[in-house]
Structure 1
Amino acid sequence: MRLELIVLIVLVSLGSSFGRHSHSHSHHHHSSNKLKVNQEAYSKWLQYMASRNHSIYEEAKNQLNPCKRIKVHKNPKHGDYTTVQQAINAIPLINNCRVIISISAGTYKEKIEIPAYMAYVSLEGEGANRTVIQWNDTADKIGPNGKPLGTYASATFAVNAPYFIAKNITFKNKAKPPPSGALGKQAVALRISADTAAFIGCKFIGAQDTLYDHRGRHYFKNCYIQGSVDFIFGDGLSLYENCHLHAKTKNYGALTAQKRESMLEETGFSFVNCKVTGSGALYLGRAWGTFSRVVFAYTFMDKIITPRGWYNWGDKNREMTVFYAQFKCSGPGANYGGRVSWARELTQQEALPFISLSFIDGHEWLTGL
């Protein structure tokens, strides 16, 4: 009964809080009490969501011991294949053991997709500055079927299979940064549409919509992510640890656009011990989803962060349902004083579910990585 009861409390309190900007002063007082109940219920909900027994995900059982190694090298004398695509094509159609593809230094101009049945694939470069996979598609580019590709299919590198690992590689979309307000210029460097994926020491370079954190549990460690508008977006459940987030824009940009659409959805982005730098005026997040959820903890924010911090995507109702928060952040852009009233500064207890590997059940599938 505990889960249903909490959901009921939150829904009731949300419903009674939506109309709070009308009627008399007494209504405001009554509404603020309701809002307090809502926040208390939501806090209980968070604690419940942090416990292991809530998860819709089955227990993750990774396989890290390789059964096969493939080497990619520009010189055919030094490797098994000269392109990344050839190496992927060499993996059995239904793969059930860890395959490590080592990619030597060089720029590989390829558009690649890992199919859904090809689990346990690892890509290992010789350093993110030395091993680069790049392409230049945009959402408005006409595809083979005569229709625009769309954001989803614009990705340079797309992953649809679980237990994917990438280390020390740059994924790049070389499409030019779009002029302000241009449509159809989304240019994804990497799309991850599968559960239990890890990226260590990687770079993701693009402009609009660089990293499509589409769905599943993901771990990004010591990564560099560069873009302009919504450059980390999607509905993943993802932990970003020790990552450098860099904006390149001449006007307004947005770091995240998280798409959680329901309070029952177990998704959200958590940034821990990261740093945010760049140019322009940057929102920490825009509410793409009605229940969009993003947390920044122990993160350095340069002065490019707009004081309000967050944007409601033009829908005031989302201010009542999003979960946007900071915890012990630093730097000139971290000042909480000018933030929108619907963002929050977390307590230690409230921050706890978001700042460890348990946020993505990492103890199950990241141990030994």
Structure 2
Amino acid sequence: MGLAASKKEMSLRRRLYQVISVAGILLATSSFAQKTVVNTSVIIVDLNGSGNFTSIQSAINSLPDSSAMPRTIHIKPGRYYEKIFITKHNIVLEGEDRETTKIIQNIARDEWRCDHKDDWGVATLNLSGNDITLKNLTIANDYGFTQKEARTVSCASDSSGKKVITNSGHQMALRSMNTTRLKVINCRLSAYAGDTVSPWNLVNGMFYFKDCVMEGGVDFYCPRGDAYAENCTFYANTGPASIWHDGSTNPDYKTVLKNCKFDGYKGFKLGRYHKDAQFYLINCSFSEAMANEDIYLVPTNNEIKWGRRVYYFNCHRKGGDYAWHKDNLQTAQGSPEANTISAAWVFGNRWNPEKM
């Protein structure tokens, strides 16, 4: 009896030990899983290998297509020679410092379109996802800065089979396709020539820029849809106009530039349009290098259904104002007051980026 009881007691002890061991493993696994979730709520990209990924695109690819909450990818300082594609939604690309966290490519649009049917891939940053935020980054297309001489390339789309590529053609740092609700905060968007910043969506495009620097050539800031830029600096390297707008599918579409600064080469022109457009410039300042020419309509066969819509309020040029940018905000539809013009006013009740 004593020996049987001893064996039975030993068996019970072994079972109890097994239960405790399994429970401990489950608890440890649960704790590790919770820790992993916390640690990966912000994904770190570092060229030197101290983060979760060494490339930005790999970090983006690791995420599910959609999320109810923003997913943040924090990018450590460095020069990332990547062409970025974002087709996923609710993503934040956040650099550590605008001047030291740089995404760089060299792409001439004219050359790209020789072998591609559309613009997907034509820019340093190519967007097709919604609810995208960019912070504290330099996004540069360096083609025009590094390629000074014209080049002749094979070109399947040209009847001659070849094409001359110059450094004055379109060079996009940012190009969106179907994106809506894009926020760009404290970023530098840089190219030598045209269409540097091309947020395009004539269905429901909503684009918000704040505290940014943009530079390029012709139409280097050229939104299609609704756009709002505040406290931004624009610098024209070349070209016959700096800003451009396309609002041709909706009479309410507008581009608003508030508390912005404009500078460039001597004789740079402010802006132009060749489709229905609507410009609001509020509290803007112009350098003395700006030419004496208002935002102008390019000769076009396009029907301009809603007339000329270019509005100024409290805009001044260093060295003396030109007559054409005098206050005329009261002539805009609804006679809005300058202090009511904000991002919420531009996007209406569809989106207020300043509350998110």
Report if TM-score (shorter chain) is over 0.5: yes
From the CA coordinates, give the structure whose radius of gyration is larger: 2
Report if aligned partners of 1:239, 1:269 keep a CA contact under 8 Å in 2.
Answer: yes
Q: Give the RMSD, CA atoms, in angstroms.
A: 3.1
Amino acid at match of 1:280: K
CA distance in 2, matches of 1:122, 1:173: 21
Matched with 2:93 is 123
1:232-259 per-position Cα deviation (integer Å, ceiling 9, x unaligned): 113131110000111112xx53111211
Asked if 1 retains the 8 angstrom alpha-carbon contact of 2:98 and 2:186, the reply is: yes
Partner Cα distance (1:111, 1:365) in 2: 30
Q: Cα deviation per residue 1:50-108 (whole Å; 9 max; x = unaligned)?
A: xxxxxxxxxxxxxxxx98321000111x1000000000010013333311000000010
Matched-pair contact (CA < 8 Å) for 1:138–1:150: no
- Tell me the equivalent position of 1:306: 291
Which consecutive residues of structure 2, in runs of 5 or more, have no partner in the other structure? 1-38, 151-164
Q: Give runs of ≥4 in structure 1 deviating > 6 Å.
A: 178-181
The residue that corresponds to 2:170 in the other structure is 186
How far the C-alpha of 1:272 sits from its partner, in A, is 0.3
Q: Give runs of aligned pairs for residues 144-159 of structure 1, distance below 5 A.
A: 147-148=115-116, 153-159=121-127
Distance 1:364 1:232 in 2: 22
How many Å apart are 1:224 and its aligned residue? Answer: 0.4
Q: Distance in 1 between matches of 2:82 and 2:213?
A: 21
Match of 2:140 in 1: 172
Q: 1:142-174: per-residue Cα shift (whole Å, max 9, x none)?
A: 46xx62566564211012111111110011001
C-alpha separation between the residues in 2 aligned to 1:326 and 1:244?
A: 17
Looking at structure 2, the residues matched to 272 and 72 of structure 1 have their Cα atoms a distance apart, in angstroms, of: 34
Deviation of the 1:338 alpha carbon: 4.7
* TM-score, length-scaled by structure 1: 0.71
Give how far 1:368 is off. 4.3
Q: Which residue number corresponds to residue 10 of structure 2?
A: none
Q: What's 2:309 paired with?
A: 323
- State which of 317, 330, 336 in structure 2 corresponds to 1:347: 330
Instruction: Identify which of 234, 239, 244 aligns with 2:228.
Output: 239
Gaps of 5+ in 1: 1-65
Residue 364 of structure 1 deviates from its aligned partner by 4.2
- 1:66-105 correspondence to structure 2 within 5 Å: 68-76=41-49, 78-105=50-77
Q: Cα offset for 1:229?
A: 0.9
Q: Using the alignment, how far apart are the partners of 1:96 and 1:141 within structure 2?
A: 39
Find the residue that maps to 1:85 and give its secondary structure: helix
In the TM superposition, residue 359 of structure 1 has moved relative to its aligned partner by: 1.1
Name the counterpart of 1:267.
Answer: 253
Question: Could you say what secondary structure the match of 2:63 adopts?
Answer: coil
Change (3 A) 1:326 1:182: farther
Give the Cα separation in 2 of the matches to 1:312 and 1:98: 40
Matched to 1:172, the amino acid is A
Alpha carbons of structure 1 residues 320 and 121: separation in structure 2 relative to 1, 3 Å: closer
Q: What's the CA shift for 1:332?
A: 3.1
Corresponding residue for residue 277 of structure 1: 263
2:346 matched residue in structure 1: 359
Q: Are 2:98 and 1:114 equivalent residues in the alignment?
A: no
Using the alignment, how far apart are the partners of 2:149 and 2:344 within structure 1?
A: 38
What is the alpha-carbon distance in structure 1 between the residues aligned to residue 106 and residue 236 of structure 2?
Answer: 19
Q: Which residue of 1 aligns with 2:128?
A: 160
SS in 1 for 2:241: strand
Given candidates 112, 125, 135, the residue that maps to 2:105 is 135
Q: Distance in 2 between matches of 1:162 and 1:265?
A: 23
Contact residue 312 and residue 318 of structure 1 kept, 8 A: no
CA spacing shift, 1:231–1:132, aligned 2, 3 Å: same
1:227 has 2:213 as partner:
no
Are the aligned partners of 1:327 and 1:346 in contact in 2 as well (CA < 8 Å)? Answer: yes
Count of matched residue pairs: 293
1:253 aligns with 2:240: yes
Which letter maps to 2:262? V
Percent identity, aligned pairs only? 24
Distance 1:346-1:179 versus aligned 2 partners, 3 A rule: farther
Cα offset, 1:191, TM superposition: 1.6
| Correspondence for 1:211 among 197, 201, 211 | 197
Give the TM-score normalised by structure 2: 0.73
User: Relative to 1, partners in 2 of residues 1:81 and 1:364: Cα closer, same or farther, differing over 3 Å?
Assistant: same
Native 8 Å contact 1:138 1:149 kept in 2: no
User: How far apart are residue 187 of structure 1 and its match?
Assistant: 0.8
Tell me the distance in 2 between the aligned counterparts of 1:179 and 1:161: 36
CA contact (8 A) 1:141 1:148 kept: no
